[in-house]
């Protein structure tokens, strides 16, 4: 009985039209949701591959500043002859890839110098965020006379 009643109502043109509209809207919503999901997945995987590529480009080992590489950086920055430099690196005090501390000597004068990011040579006073002179402190720790600076 009930099935006959449902079939009788479905034969009505108004009900059919409303049912078609409802199913079309529902199908369109599903289609839009699936499209957004596919676009999101494509964007996510592209972003992930770019991140993986960026991670593979970064060196896994940290660069270590040796006496030879420090001498090359200092000689290049001061534009001296690499085979016979007048400024010589005597000691690498603190070896850090971002900020390395070295002792250089030029004509019996020793000075504290800094190598930033393994390529930029800086020979002056360096202060921390509290205003403490790091160059002066390292000169005192390594018994470098302040008169020579």
Q: What is the mean pLDDT of residues 41-56?
A: 83
Residue 62 resides in a domain: no
pLDDT of residue 146: 59
pLDDT of residue 37: 94
What is the extent of the structural domain holding 82?
Answer: 67-148
CATH code of the domain covering residue 78: 3.10.450
Nearest partner of 94 among 142, 129, 54, judged by Cα: 142
Please indicate, yes or no, whether residues 139 and 74 belong to a single structural domain of this protein: yes
Please indicate, yes or no, whether residues 46 and 93 belong to a single structural domain of this protein: no
| Per-residue pLDDT tens over the stretch 88-131 | 988 888 888 788 888 888 888 888 888 888 887 777 777 878 88
- Whether pLDDT at 147 is above 60: no
pLDDT of residue 148: 44
Please indicate, yes or no, whether residues 92 and 36 belong to a single structural domain of this protein: no
Please indicate, yes or no, whether residues 72 and 140 belong to a single structural domain of this protein: yes
Using CA atoms, how far apart are residues 141 and 147, in angstroms rounded to an integer?
A: 15
Please indicate, yes or no, whether residues 121 and 90 belong to a single structural domain of this protein: yes
Please indicate, yes or no, whether residues 101 and 47 belong to a single structural domain of this protein: no
Over the chain, what is the mean pLDDT? 84
- Which residues make Cβ contacts (< 8 Å) with residue 66, sequence separation at least 6? 92
């Amino acid at each position: 009985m009930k099935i006959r009643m449902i079939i009788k109502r479905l034969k009505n043109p108004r009900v059919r039209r409303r049912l078609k509209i409802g199913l079309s809207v529902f199908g369109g919503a599903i289609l839009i949701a699936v499209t957004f999901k596919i676009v999101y997945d494509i964007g996510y995987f592209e972003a992930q591959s770019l991140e993986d590529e960026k991670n593979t480009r970064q060196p896994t080992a940290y660069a270590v500043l040796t006496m030879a590489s420090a001498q090359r950086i200092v000689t290049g920055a001061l534009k001296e002859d690499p085979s016979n430099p007048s400024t010589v690196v005597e000691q690498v005090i603190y070896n850090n890839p971002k900020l390395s501390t070295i002792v250089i000597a030029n004509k019996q004068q020793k000075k504290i110098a800094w190598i930033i990011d393994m390529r930029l040579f800086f020979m002056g006073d360096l202060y921390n965020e509290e205003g403490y002179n790091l160059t002066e402190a390292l000169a005192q720790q390594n018994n470098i006379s302040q008169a020579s600076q």
